[in-house]
Amino acid sequence: MPVFMQTPVCLILSAIQRVSQERENSMKALRILAVVLSLAVALIAAGVGVLYALFDGESLKGELSRAVLEQKQRKLDIAGKLELSVWPGIGIRLGRLTLSERGSRDEFLALESARVEVAVMPLLSKQVKVQRIEVEGLKATLVKQKDGTLNVADLLGSDAGKHDGKEPAKGSGAGAAPLQLDIAGIRVANAQLTWRDEKSGSSTALSNLDFATGRIQADGGNKTLTIDALSFAAKGKSGADAFELKVEAPRLALSPEKSGGESLSLAATLTGSGRNATLKLLLSGVEGNARVLKVGKLALDLDARSGETAIKARLDSAVTANAEAQTVALEKIAGSIDLAHPQMPMKQLKLPLAGNLRADLAQQTLALELSTGFDESKIAARLNIAKFAPLALGFDLDIDRLNVDKYLPPAPAKATDKAGKAGESADGGKLDFAALKGLDVHGAIRIGSLQVSKLKLAKLNAKINIAGGRLEVAPLTLNLYEGSASGSLSLDAAGNAVTLRQNLAGISINPLLQDLAGKDLVAGHGSVVLDVGSRGDSVAAMKQALGGTASVSLKDGAIKGINLAQSLRELKAKLGAGGDATQQARTGDKTDFSELTASLKIANGVAHNDDLAMKSPFLRLSGAGDIDIGAGRMNYLAKASVVASSTGQGGQGLDQLKGLTVPVRVTGPFENLAYKIEFGSLVSDAAKARVEEKKQEIKGKIEDKARDKLKGLFGK
């Protein structure tokens, strides 16, 4: 073969030889892999066999029950067998389980089934290391007992076990090893939890509770905690209200060096009789460390409705939390509240909000500042909590001007009873001051200008204190209707009592009465002093139980509804005709006076007066009678005396009545007063006056004749 052909042939043969060698090597590798896999399967099978051989479920049940009874004084019952399962992982499965209350056979906790997945290798040395927990049908009752302790205090590691004289279990003291957790996940499905407060008698129940997490890692020594894919959902009921909760957090990590999380969201709904509410909370940009945690943005949204009233609110703020100092701060709160009601004059009202909040959980204190403004009003509020439980609250409210009537729906029409009388609503305006019990509140209110229920007030200053079930507003000062008022107001939950003491000076009484009670009865400027009190569970009962004293002193005013001067002029033609004349109060009629004073003694809702004194240039008015505040009626007898004729204030043409006393009886409901001039009494009094005048005349003549005879007798 030529030399030039030998080289390619050699190359080809060499390549064939290498391919054959590589194929042989590959086959060897496959054979080795098959042997390894066979050995692995054999080892796994052998390991499973060893696990089943070593696992003693009955022994483990007994050890668990004994340990719980000895260490916690609780009875643990595990129905059925503890079984070892190998799919989807090595785990221990158990059926129904119950746990008693401490030192009792009463059931505290129960579950339908559970599975605990464990690490394999520790089992070979009879140690259990949990990797995953699954629980179905958990039921538990948490109780706050009358002495304030919880029925789970011993399970939470409190000192509950010291009270029974028994020593704490070994390993539970300060020398116990730091907590170490590495759990692939936890899943709790269809659980039910009940919270009961034995002192207040309240209870809250959670049902359909689902809780799940991804991997949980905790190192007590290094103070680190990581939780993946946290989710929580539950339905519940508190009293007559039903609610739903959902919480989600993709990842949370806490460590001394750095802590944070992608986000945390909470959604809650509340449904009750005639009302519902939806709340959403989102925390984003969470970062910090184990000591200080910062939230870039807290966003809170509320959408609620009660009857026809709708409210929407949104608040945003950055948050700083110090776990070591147990403080929380919201430095820049910004948001708004939208109120809507179809009967409000403007239908909708928007309130912008700005402020800050600081809370110290260790000291149980909180400070909140909020400000808002709408239309012509600017409002600043400061809130301080000195103690969370029992609540000790302080506040300061400053409003430049506020017209409450502008934003309230119109008042409902007054109900009419069977007799056709317009009056209170069917329930009599129910009152209950029980909400004052248990409160510890103090504060101050300042309002530059206020209109409420048509009353127009200015420069209102009030100090408020609530303690022992009693509300005290003292001092209470304000300006109103060209004058001022000072005094106090108190409400007492014991007996549902109210007390009012007020001294009104320089008041224009007519616009005050018209705005306060819709009554056009009297005009004038002067003072009113009130010291009244009452008790009852309704407005009607309060009126009927009203007691105390009152006095009024007015100048340059008028009594509305009757013109006494005109009525007295008409009286001249009726003298001797007999019979009484009655007229209803007439709009536009009035009797002027230069001075009016009166005092009232009030008992059981009836105000009695017997010292009325009214003066004008041509007459004097006195009187006595009753004003039934509870029934809304009056029965009063006034006596008008003509003292002089006057061309002013309607006194013309009254010369013939000079010296007479004219009785005027005022009767009827406040809404429709009637004035009756009792002519019969007037004529009788006039006749008596003429007889007396005749007697005096005859007596004078007799005396004159006697003097004349005496003169003749003595010659003088």
- For the stretch 466-488, pLDDT in tens is 999 999 999 999 999 999 999 99
Question: Considering the chain, what is the average pLDDT of its residues?
Answer: 79
Question: Higher pLDDT residue, 420 or 16?
Answer: 16
Question: d(Cα 111, Cα 490) in Å, to the nearest integer?
Answer: 54
What does residue 368 show for φ and ψ, rounded to 5 degrees? -130, 135
Strand partners, 379: 372, 399
Reference 179, options 222, 214, 134; nearest CA is: 222
Least confident of 334-338, 440-444, 654-658: 654-658
Query: What average pLDDT does this structure show over 580-594?
Result: 69
**With 80 as the cut, is the pLDDT of residue 689 above it?**
no
Question: Higher pLDDT residue, 49 or 244?
Answer: 244
| pLDDT score of 714 | 45
Question: Higher pLDDT residue, 516 or 326?
Answer: 326
**With 80 as the cut, is the pLDDT of residue 581 above it?**
no
| pLDDT score of 515 | 85
User: Is residue 329 very low, low, confident or very high in pLDDT (cuts 50, 70, 90)?
Assistant: very high
> Is the link from the previous residue into 88 a cis peptide, with omega within 30 of 0?
yes
* Residues 261-299 pLDDT 10s: 878 899 999 998 888 999 999 998 888 876 788 888 999
Question: Higher pLDDT residue, 309 or 694?
Answer: 309
User: Is residue 4 very low, low, confident or very high in pLDDT (cuts 50, 70, 90)?
Assistant: very low
User: Is residue 130 very low, low, confident or very high in pLDDT (cuts 50, 70, 90)?
Assistant: confident
What SS3 class is residue 13?
A: helix
**With 50 as the cut, is the pLDDT of residue 332 above it?**
yes
Give residues with Cβ within 8 angstroms of 486, minimum separation 6: 475, 476, 477, 502, 503
Is the CB of residue 543 less than 8 Å from the CB of residue 533?
no
> Is the link from the previous residue into 475 a cis peptide, with omega within 30 of 0?
yes
Structure-block tokens of residue 61: 């049940």
Question: d(Cα 227, Cα 75) in Å, to the nearest integer?
Answer: 32
**With 90 as the cut, is the pLDDT of residue 600 above it?**
yes
Structure-block tokens of residue 563: 């013109």
Structure-block tokens of residue 288: 């910090």
| pLDDT score of 422 | 44
Strands 674-677, 661-669: pairing kind:
antiparallel
Query: What average pLDDT does this structure show over 494-520?
Result: 89
CA angle 477, 480, 484 (to 5 degrees): 50
| pLDDT score of 2 | 46
What SS3 class is residue 36?
A: helix
| pLDDT score of 577 | 47
Cβ neighbour number for residue 559 with a 10 Å cutoff:
24
- What 542-546 contacts at long range (C-beta under 8 Å, 24+ apart), as own/partner pairs, is 542/431, 542/498, 543/605, 543/629, 543/630, 544/604, 544/605, 544/630, 545/604, 545/605, 545/630, 546/602, 546/604, 546/605, 546/629, 546/630
Reference 642, options 634, 650, 633; nearest CA is: 650
Please, what's the b/e burial string for 644-668 (b: 16 or more CB within 10 A of its CB; e: otherwise)? Answer: eebeebbbeebeebeebbbbbbbeb
| pLDDT score of 505 | 95
**With 90 as the cut, is the pLDDT of residue 389 above it?**
no
* Residues 602-644 pLDDT 10s: 999 999 999 999 888 777 889 999 999 888 899 999 888 877 6
* Residues 348-367 pLDDT 10s: 888 999 999 999 998 999 99
Q: What are the distances in angstroms from CA 510 to CA 150, 507, 513, 537, 619?
A: 62, 9, 5, 31, 22
**With 50 as the cut, is the pLDDT of residue 459 above it?**
yes
**With 80 as the cut, is the pLDDT of residue 139 above it?**
yes
Question: d(Cα 689, Cα 117) in Å, to the nearest integer?
Answer: 116
| pLDDT score of 304 | 94
**With 50 as the cut, is the pLDDT of residue 40 above it?**
no
Number of helical H runs and strand E runs in the chain: 7, 39
Question: Higher pLDDT residue, 507 or 617?
Answer: 507
Say which DSSP state 519 is in: -
CA angle 393, 398, 400 (to 5 degrees): 160
Query: What average pLDDT does this structure show over 659-686?
Result: 73
Cβ neighbour number for residue 360 with a 10 Å cutoff:
16
Q: Where are the beta strands (DSSP E) in 453-589?
A: 455-467, 470-480, 483-492, 497-508, 522-535, 547-560, 581-584
Please give the biggest Cα pair distance in the chain. Answer: 213
User: Is residue 155 very low, low, confident or very high in pLDDT (cuts 50, 70, 90)?
Assistant: confident
Highest mean pLDDT of the ranges 291-295, 407-411, 656-660: 291-295
| pLDDT score of 55 | 55
Query: What average pLDDT does this structure show over 489-494?
Result: 93
| pLDDT score of 156 | 73
User: Is residue 703 very low, low, confident or very high in pLDDT (cuts 50, 70, 90)?
Assistant: low
Question: What pTM, to 2 d.p., does this model score?
Answer: 0.65
User: One-letter amino acid identity for 5?
Assistant: M
Give residues with Cβ within 8 angstroms of 83, minimum separation 6: 57, 92, 93, 94
Least confident of 147-156, 227-236, 501-510, 558-567: 558-567
| pLDDT score of 554 | 93
Structure-block tokens of residue 468: 């022992």
Please, what's the b/e burial string for 80-106 (b: 16 or more CB within 10 A of its CB; e: otherwise)? Answer: eebebeeeeebbbbbeebebbbbeeee
